[in-house]
């Protein structure tokens, strides 16, 4: 209990004094996970919509696979990205290992199935509602997907936020491909793992509280923004 209180106090102090290391680590965490969520959404949302409105032979298999990939173990993803981008790996020439870019790539692989799968569920329901109208108005495939993504934007924001949440709290993959290098690839989760390993529980807890606060803040900010855009129920 004492550790937790000390952690809270330390967290408050770090935040109030805008500790330089904390700001740097937090900024990188945000940068990596928001970047991954943005890229994952750019891929996952249209993919989910496409899967919802198209009928093809392997559709069920693809959707089942997508749902299964939601549980992709981050450590394994990290390992595979590591092998691909290591010096001797097939993508080694890019020299991306132990850079934030590699961390973003790993997180995109982890969260895209989540975003696509949740988007697919939401869009499927909307498509059931809109089907006859869009066919009647002869909307082409691109217009159908565009309409469904736009009108389903509230539900899709939830999909993106779920992806972001998975990314910001993820440690296995970015630890492996990023390496937790101070002032280069250290993010909140890897820093927490490090501090815990060193026995610095109050510091680890402080970072943990900042992480939780950050996740809540991003969610609130997005919900606030989308509500001011239009005071509707969706």
Binding site residues, other proteins, CB under 8 A: 126, 129-130, 132-133, 135-139, 143, 147, 151-152, 232-234
Cβ proximity to other proteins, 96 vs 145, nearer residue: 145
C-alpha distance from residue 113 to each of 70, 119, 127, 211, 224 (Å) = 5, 10, 20, 23, 26
Question: For the chain, where are the alpha helices, taking DSSP H only?
Answer: 2-16, 20-53, 59-69, 74-85, 100-136, 141-151, 153-168, 172-178, 188-198, 201-229
In the complex, minimum distance from the CB of residue 233 to other proteins, in angstroms, rounded to a whole number: 7
CA 180, distance to chain mean position in Å, is 19
In the complex, minimum distance from the CB of residue 229 to other proteins, in angstroms, rounded to a whole number: 12
Cβ proximity to other proteins, 94 vs 234, nearer residue: 234
Cβ proximity to other proteins, 88 vs 136, nearer residue: 136
In the complex, minimum distance from the CB of residue 148 to other proteins, in angstroms, rounded to a whole number: 10
In the complex, minimum distance from the CB of residue 45 to other proteins, in angstroms, rounded to a whole number: 16
CB-CB contact of 190 with 100 (8 Å): no
Q: Which long-range contacts (CB under 8 A, 24 or more apart) does 15-19 make?
A: 15/210
Give the Cα separation of 21 and 27 in Å (integer).
10
Cβ proximity to other proteins, 24 vs 151, nearer residue: 151
Cβ proximity to other proteins, 5 vs 128, nearer residue: 128
In the complex, minimum distance from the CB of residue 230 to other proteins, in angstroms, rounded to a whole number: 8
């Amino acid at each position: 209990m004492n550790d937790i209180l000390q952690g809270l106090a330390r967290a408050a102090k770090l935040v109030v004094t805008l500790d330089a290391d904390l700001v740097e680590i937090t900024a990188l965490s945000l940068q990596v996970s928001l970047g991954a969520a943005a890229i994952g959404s750019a891929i996952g949302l249209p993919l989910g919509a496409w899967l919802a409105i198209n009928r093809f032979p392997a559709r069920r298999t693809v959707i089942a696979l997508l749902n299964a990939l939601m549980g992709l173990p981050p450590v394994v993803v990290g390992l595979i990205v590591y092998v691909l981008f290591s010096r001797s790996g097939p993508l080694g020439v890019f020299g991306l290992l132990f850079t934030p870019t590699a961390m973003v790539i790993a997180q995109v692989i982890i969260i895209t199935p989540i975003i696509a799968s949740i988007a697919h569920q939401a869009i499927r329901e909307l498509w059931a509602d809109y089907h006859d109208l869009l066919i009647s108005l002869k909307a082409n495939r691109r217009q159908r997907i565009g309409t469904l993504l736009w009108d389903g934007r509230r539900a899709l924001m939830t999909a993106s936020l779920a992806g972001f949440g998975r990314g910001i709290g993820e440690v296995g993959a970015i630890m492996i491909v990023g390496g937790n290098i101070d002032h280069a690839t250290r993010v909140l989760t890897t820093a927490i793992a490090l501090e815990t390993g060193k026995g610095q529980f109050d510091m680890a807890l402080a970072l943990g509280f900042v992480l939780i606060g950050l996740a809540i803040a991003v969610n609130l900010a997005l919900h606030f923004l989308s509500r001011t855009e239009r005071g509707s129920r969706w």
